Chains A and B, each alone.
Chain A
Amino acid sequence: MSALATAIFLVLFVVAAGVGTMIALVRGARHVRERRRARRAARPRRTLLAFAADGGDAERDELVRLPARDWRAVEPTVLELLAKVRGEARTALAEVFIRRGLVSRARRDLRRRGPVRRARAAGVLGSLGHRSAVPELCRLLLDPNPDVRVAAVHSLGRIADPAAAGPLLASLAAPNPAPSQLVAHSLIQLGPAAVPALVAALEEPTPLVRMTALDAVRLLGATVAEPEVAAVLRDDPSLEVRLRAVATLGRIGTRATMPHLLTACEPEQPAQLRAAAARALGELGVVAAVAPLQALLSSPDYRTGHEAAGALLRLGAGGAAALAEAATGTDRAAGHAREVLALADLQREYAESIPQWPAGVAQGA
């Protein structure tokens, strides 16, 4: 090996060894910090669990008086538990936060320069379900830092004040919004009271706002929004939004929805929309859809025929009979019918192989 190559090799070796050593040292230091924190948290954690289990005054006072360092060690556990318990246990834990002055401090921290403190404060207020912080958290939806925006979205969902629905949706129209799935999840947590804001958002100019509103309507099962969602399916300029509207109608729709879905299945509609509408007809569960779906089995578009076959399977005996009839043929419709019937047979065999507790048998009998 030439001298140059040897020198290069040695330099690279030293660099690699140095980087490896630094990684090991950082990891070691983190491990030592974690163990130290766990040791410091051990006793207050026992007090915390006793308090969460029973809400006793002695444990509450001990937690309120904990030195700041010990509280910092156990605070992550408190915040975790706040999300996992309800009733007296949750109220008791929230009271400890209030009596330690942490709620006031969190509200002040929402305006701090450092994004970590702002995000952390938003998280604490969300965990505590502090409604009076909603306006300030809504302002953080437009924070320049993405982690702060995400923390605000999460917290508004946990607080579940329907007044946050409008700001959550509006934030999606801003540059670099929080991920829309997170916003949708928080909107769902606001519950049915958020539906008026969701319906209003169906007319917003930003497609992402309309799509997220539709997702939330679908997941909330807000049947009351059916007329507005049908209008979106009919008139929205964006195919993506119309696809979401179709999926939503499949979930929330009633018998009155069927004509809108059948219109979406017509030949002049985009192929993706026709396939989605066929699928939604199956989810709708209206037996009157059997005949139109049977006709769609012969669609020249594979996806539409495939979804129509799947939809027929969901329509009970009428759908199954239509599939069985189609399966006797030799055309495209027969292929789709046979495919879905064979898959259903395999799924049934698998389901029968799993031991089931017999329904209606009394325990201990």
Chain B
Amino acid sequence: MTSVLVAEDDADVRDLVVFKLEQSGYEVHAVEDGPEALAAAKQHLPDVAVLDISMPGMSGLDVCRMLRADPATARMLIVMLTARAQETDVDKGFTAGADDYIVKPFSPRELVTRLHALQARARR
């Protein structure tokens, strides 16, 4: 079973994403801030991380950079899920090492579709 880390400080969005992913067959670990996200990623070594950018303690971009810098987590698939929609924000996300960048408002169904597609590409 594919494991996913969800880092999102908005409780409603976090719970919705967790619900959708679990319904889609993923094992989900959910946290609500950047430092917890880093700790959970290193502890559970999920296959995928879904990160909000604006989080307390540490931004999702910094979490992404640190995951990429650590050999134990460098190969993790990372998806940013954020309300920051400017071109420069998207650029920063991919520069930090994200594999995909989804802007809110988002479609829960599309989120799952994108995760499936990322995993399929990673397996090839």
Q: Do A and B come from one complex?
A: yes
Chain A interfacial positions (CB closer than 8 Å to B): 45, 49-50, 52-54, 77, 80-81, 83-90, 354-357, 359, 363-364
Q: Is the CB of B97 within 8 A of A357?
A: yes
Other 4 A-B pairs with CB < 8 A, given A84-B106, A355-B66: A54-B20, A87-B107, A354-B65, A363-B75
Partner of B16, one of A53, A88, A359: A53
* 10 examples of A-B residue contacts, CB within 8 angstroms: A45-B15, A49-B16, A50-B19, A54-B23, A81-B16, A84-B10, A84-B12, A86-B106, A87-B107, A355-B68
CA A364 to CA B68, docked complex, whole Å: 11
Given contacts A85-B107, A87-B109, A354-B65, contact A363 B99 (CB under 8 A): yes
Closest to B62 in A: A354
Interface membership of chain B positions 18-35, coded 1 if the CB is closer than 8 angstroms to chain A and 0 otherwise: 011001000000000000
CA A245 to CA B117, docked complex, whole Å: 46
CA A255 to CA B68, docked complex, whole Å: 41
Given contacts A81-B12, A85-B108, A87-B107, contact A357 B95 (CB under 8 A): yes
Partner of A85, one of B68, B96, B106: B106
Does residue B122 face the partner (Cβ distance < 8 Å to A)?
yes
Min Cβ gap A101→B in Å is: 24
Min Cβ gap B66→A in Å is: 8
Does residue B39 face the partner (Cβ distance < 8 Å to A)?
no
Does residue B13 face the partner (Cβ distance < 8 Å to A)?
yes
User: Interface on chain A toward B: helix, strand, loop, or mixed SS?
Assistant: helix
User: Interface on chain B toward A: helix, strand, loop, or mixed SS?
Assistant: helix
Q: Which residues of A contact B110 (CB under 8 A)?
A: 87
Does residue B105 face the partner (Cβ distance < 8 Å to A)?
yes
Q: Is the CB of B69 within 8 A of A85?
A: no
Closest to A361 in B: B97
Q: Is the CB of B106 within 8 A of A359?
A: no
Q: Which residues 62-120 of B sit at the A interface, judged by CB distance below 8 A?
A: 65-66, 68-69, 75, 77, 95-97, 99, 104-110
Min Cβ gap B102→A in Å is: 11
Q: Is the CB of B107 within 8 A of A88?
A: yes
Min Cβ gap A191→B in Å is: 13
Q: Which residues of B contact A88 (CB under 8 A)?
A: 107, 109
Min Cβ gap A106→B in Å is: 21
Q: Which residues 2-51 of B sit at the A interface, judged by CB distance below 8 A?
A: 10, 12-13, 15-16, 19-20, 23
CA A81 to CA B19, docked complex, whole Å: 14
Closest to A85 in B: B105
Most interface-central of A53, A81, A87, A356 (chain B CB within 10 A): A53
Given contacts A85-B108, A364-B122, contact A357 B68 (CB under 8 A): yes
Q: Is the CB of B20 within 8 A of A53?
A: yes
CA A271 to CA B105, docked complex, whole Å: 43
Q: Is the CB of B122 within 8 A of A52?
A: no
Q: Is the CB of B96 within 8 A of A357?
A: yes
Q: Is the CB of B12 within 8 A of A80?
A: yes
Q: Is the CB of B105 within 8 A of A356?
A: no
Min Cβ gap A35→B in Å is: 15
CA A315 to CA B69, docked complex, whole Å: 33
CA A354 to CA B68, docked complex, whole Å: 12
